[in-house]
Amino acid sequence: MSPRKKSKKEIGNFEEETMTLLRKGKEANECIDLGRKFLNDDPNSAFDYFQKAFDLYEEVHNTMGQANALRYLGLIYGPIQKDWENCLDCLQRAYEIHAKVKNKLFMGEEVHNIGYCYFYLNKYDEAIEHFEKSLRIHQEFGNNDRVSDSLSNLGFLYRKLGNLDKSIEYYQQCYSIDLELGNSHKQAQDLIDMAAVLSMKGDHVEALTRLEEAHDVLNKTGNELGQIKVIEEIKKNITEIENETKLSPKIRQAIDRIKKKFKI
């Protein structure tokens, strides 16, 4: 039995519906472009454009477009408006869309940003869970920039929770990645972060050594402002150490050497 041929009216309706979908899809793309244009100078207008884009993508059943619009809406809710609850909602919805089509690269980005939402909502255990998940996904794709970010975030969170051994472990891993990437700015920050944890652990000599290494890295790149900040941190650490009642010869020797090197 042959399939029934569509009437001219049915064909016309189909063509009209197709053109409407294409028009709305194009309009949604234009809204995304306009939202990005206004993002920094007029976030309220940008928000309206991204919301309109989402609504249009929803009408034409473009789920990838919806996820993209949700990510931009989350960007305004979170970093700009500091509304982390709504930011979290947008990112979770975007994640669910990408999870359905198993787009792990985008899932990794969303999981990473969801981790930030939980951090700013003071839900540290959930933040750790999502940064660890982000770490695994980006390690799988060899995206070492994001691997480094995840490791640094985990180091900070464990430091905040008082798990100093785990914190230093993550910072050391982060430093190794940044060394491999040749990212001097992040290498210096990793060393400064390690110094902060070592100081909290009472390992003052190692803390000063990490700060000295951070200064050397920044000196090679000509980052004078960074060097000044590190020297101020070194001074602060030395003052805290010298306020202790007893200093071992090892600590005294380290302080004298660093004071001489930096003319403190």
Q: Tell me the residue type at 50.
A: F
Whether 252 is covered by a domain: the verdict is no
At 65, list the tokens. Answer: 């477009």
User: Rounded to an integer, what distance in angstroms lies between the CA atom of residue 168 and that of residue 161?
Assistant: 13
The predicted pLDDT at position 240 comes to 85
Whether 84 is covered by a domain: the verdict is yes
Q: What is the mean pLDDT of each run of 10 residues along the chain (264 residues)?
A: 53 57 90 96 97 96 96 96 98 97 93 97 97 96 96 98 97 97 96 96 91 95 93 91 80 90 89
The predicted pLDDT at position 235 comes to 93
User: Rounded to an integer, what distance in angstroms lies between the CA atom of residue 160 and that of residue 46?
Assistant: 35
The predicted pLDDT at position 3 comes to 56
Q: Are 152 and 190 in contact (CB under 8 A)?
A: yes
Backbone CA torsion sign across 144, 150, 156, 158? negative
Whether 52 is covered by a domain: the verdict is yes
Q: Are 70 and 54 in contact (CB under 8 A)?
A: yes
Q: What is the CATH number of the domain that holds 53?
A: 1.25.40.10
Whether 109 is covered by a domain: the verdict is no
Q: What is the 3-state secondary structure (H, E, C) of 121-156?
A: CCCHHHHHHHHHHHHHHHHHHCCHHHHHHHHHHHHH
Whether 46 is covered by a domain: the verdict is yes
Whether 50 is covered by a domain: the verdict is yes
Q: Are 194 and 172 in contact (CB under 8 A)?
A: yes
The predicted pLDDT at position 14 comes to 45
Instruction: Please give the span between the terminal C-alpha atoms of the chain, in angstroms, as a whole number.
Output: 95
The predicted pLDDT at position 5 comes to 55
Whether 148 is covered by a domain: the verdict is no
- Please give the distance of CA 239 from its chain centroid, rounded to a whole number: 34
Q: By residue range, what is the domain housing residue 33?
A: 25-101
Whether 135 is covered by a domain: the verdict is no
Q: How far are the Cα atoms of 83, 100, 129, 155 from residue 151, in angstroms, in the given order?
A: 25, 27, 12, 6
Q: pTM, whole model, 2 decimals?
A: 0.86
Domain count, the chain: 1
The predicted pLDDT at position 264 comes to 86
Buried b (16+ CB within 10 A) or exposed e, 198-232: bbeeebbebbbbbbbbbbebbeeeebeebbebbbe
